[in-house]
Amino acid sequence: MSLYHELPKAELHLHLEGSVTPETMQELAPEASADEIRDRFRFCNFAGFLDCFKWVVERLRSAEGYALATRRLLEALARQNVSYAEVTLSAGVVLWKQQDFATIYDAVQREALQSPVQVQWNLDAIRHFGAEHAMQVAELAAERVGQGVVSFGIGGDEQRGPAGWFGDVYHFARAQGLRLTAHAGETAGPESVWDALLLGAERIGHGIRAAEDAELLRHLCSHDIPLEICISSNVATGAVRSLEAHPVRRLYDAGVPIVLNTDDPGLFSTTLEREYEIAANTFGFSESELRQIAANAFRYAFRAKTPA
């Protein structure tokens, strides 16, 4: 048994919709050929990734489809010795599709409650859809505090949805007992991370561009703010120019708390075990360092869990 499997693991940056593999896609959309699915899952930049993500979510047509995606994801996590996951559900996309969110949430939560993996949900708003949209998502999250939802965040296009729009939304979410995260510093520079911190984000999704700002690195260290690192994701979307150019080693060596994650494992053909393997084989992380990173995932979880 490999170290990467044996390690007790948690995942904190994981999108339900992006966990859909080509095989699960065939179950969700049997009318789509294997060739079409393969072509849709092939992309080389962030715009191509967004097109693929959109194609997938358009085929999550019912609560049953969301439940199937949840079941397949949690089966995959259990096989990898992942005991805890904070899964992002794009409530903003559900609203955009004009589907009934309550029905979909009830379906995915039923699946979660039947899994050996302990699941908490992060509800995600699409930042470039604006503040009113984000407030609708925050309200949905607030209604479900104590019923599986633990946090609120924003994703989407950093350039078209500046963090400054969302101050009131984050203030509301915090007041309702939600923990706070935000995608930042993925396709925009370190200033995007600073702006997310001003909102009150307790963890930063990606945050890799922080490596360009020494003051920001010191701030993340001194305030114990973790980055949710997703190596394969950043390579697949072109957020870094190559695997070797990824700053994960520099961030770690600077003392920034990091957690390894898959982001959208179905779309990026990865697993959490593979992310640990990449960290070891490409970036030279030792066994003791990987154990520390694995422990970080439990330490920085919004609903604190300890590995068995």
What pLDDT, in 10s, does the model give residues 219-245? 999 999 999 999 999 999 999 999 999
Q: Check if the beta carbon of residue 237 is closer than 8 Å to that of residue 270.
A: no
The pLDDT confidence band at residue 146, using thresholds 50, 70 and 90, is very high
DSSP 50-112: HHHHHHHHTT--SHHHHHHHHHHHHHHHHHTTEEEEEEEE-HHHHHHTT--HHHHHHHHHHHH
Distance CA 178, CA 122 (A): 9
* pLDDT class of 3 with cuts at 50, 70, 90: confident
Query: What is this structure's pTM?
Result: 0.94
Q: Sign (positive/negative) of CA torsion 29, 156, 184, 127? A: negative
pLDDT at 308: 39
Report the share of the chain in percent with pLDDT over 70.
98
* Residue 134: closest CA among 99, 177, 180: 180
Where does the pLDDT of residue 46 fall: very low under 50, low under 70, confident under 90, or very high at 90 and above?
confident
The angle formed by the CA atoms of residues 23, 28 and 85, to the nearest 5 degrees, is 70
Which stretch of DSSP H or E encloses residue 236?
A: helix 231-236
Residue 305's pLDDT is what?
Answer: 44
What pLDDT does residue 5 have?
A: 87
* Distance (Å, whole) CA 14 – CA 272: 10
Give catalytic residues, as residue numbers. Answer: 186
pLDDT (0 to 100) of residue 307: 40
Please say if the pLDDT value at position 306 is more than 70. no
State which amino acid sits at residue 203.
R
Q: Which residue has the higher pLDDT, 22 or 45?
A: 22
| Rounded Cα–Cα distance for residues 278 and 295 (Å) | 18
* CB contact at 8 A, 211 and 247: yes
At residue 261, does pLDDT exceed 60? yes
Check: CB of residue 104 under 8 Å from CB of residue 66. Answer: yes
What is the pLDDT averaged over residues 183-203?
A: 97
What average pLDDT does the structure give for the chain?
95
